[in-house]
Amino acid sequence: MIKLIIFDLDNTLFDTYEQLGMHVLDQMIEKMKSAGLTDEQEKVLREKYVTTGFRTVANMLKLSDELKAIGKSTYENMDLSKITPFDDVKLIKRFSQKKILVTSGTERVQNEKIRILGIAPLFDEIIVDLEGSGNSRMKIFMKLTGAYEVRPKEVLVIGDNAEAEIIAGNNLGMITVQIFRRHFLKGKADYYVKDLHEVKKILDEMS
Ligand SMILES: [Mg+2]
């Protein structure tokens, strides 16, 4: 029986790709190109940004401190005011389990997204993973099992990122659900869903 559900935020509870991602990426690239970003780096950034976030790609590409600073300030100053949650997020109220939101990125930006989306009351706890790797996710998930006194098999992890929350959940023996709000890289998960209605069905069948 599932006792605890861990939710990802970006591209899971709201359409980061459509509502923020593409727009801020274009702005970043425009500014970074005039500071020396190469075409090859631009290509990788465009491929990876949406799933991994800026910091991870910037490190992967070994971007200069100047380029990183430009990307970071563009990101931190993006207009968040118009973001809205996916319709099915209201279903979360009906999930009887403990619910934790674990999201990665800049603390201020993630907290601001959560505030504007108005979703904080849906969760028992909200954690911003500042490091944002599969490893840091694993540490957070492990701590949660201790804090809520649940076994890994009693935890369901829902997210879009095969290389972060899904891997972390799999490694710990949790039940993983990869959500495809759009066409993202498919990883190895216990379940694949399009939306939270399908998650509700899985939970109903398991209980
Ligand atoms: Mg995500």
Q: pLDDT tens digits, residue range 67-105?
A: 999 999 998 888 999 999 999 999 999 999 999 999 998
pLDDT class of 185 with cuts at 50, 70, 90: confident
Lookup: tokens for 70: 């430009």
CA dihedral 57, 180, 132, 34 (to 10 degrees): 30
- Residue 173 makes CB contacts below 8 A (sequence gap 6+) with 152, 153
Rounded to the nearest angstrom, the distance between the alpha carbon of 202 and the centre of ligand 1 is 20
Rounded to the nearest angstrom, the distance between the alpha carbon of 177 and the centre of ligand 1 is 12
| Whole-number Å distance between alpha carbons of 14 and 19 | 8
- Residue 98 makes CB contacts below 8 A (sequence gap 6+) with 3, 4, 5, 124, 148, 150
Rounded to the nearest angstrom, the distance between the alpha carbon of 157 and the centre of ligand 1 is 12
The pLDDT tens digits for 109-143 are: 999 999 999 999 999 999 999 887 888 999 999 99
Find out whether 11 and 17 touch, Cβ atoms under 8 Å: yes
Rounded to the nearest angstrom, the distance between the alpha carbon of 31 and the centre of ligand 1 is 25
| Whole-number Å distance between alpha carbons of 165 and 105 | 13
pTM (predicted TM-score): 0.87
The length of the chain, given as a count of residues: 207
Percent of the chain with pLDDT over 90: 80
By the 10 Å C-beta count (0-12 exposed, 13-18 middle, 19+ buried), 167 is classed as buried
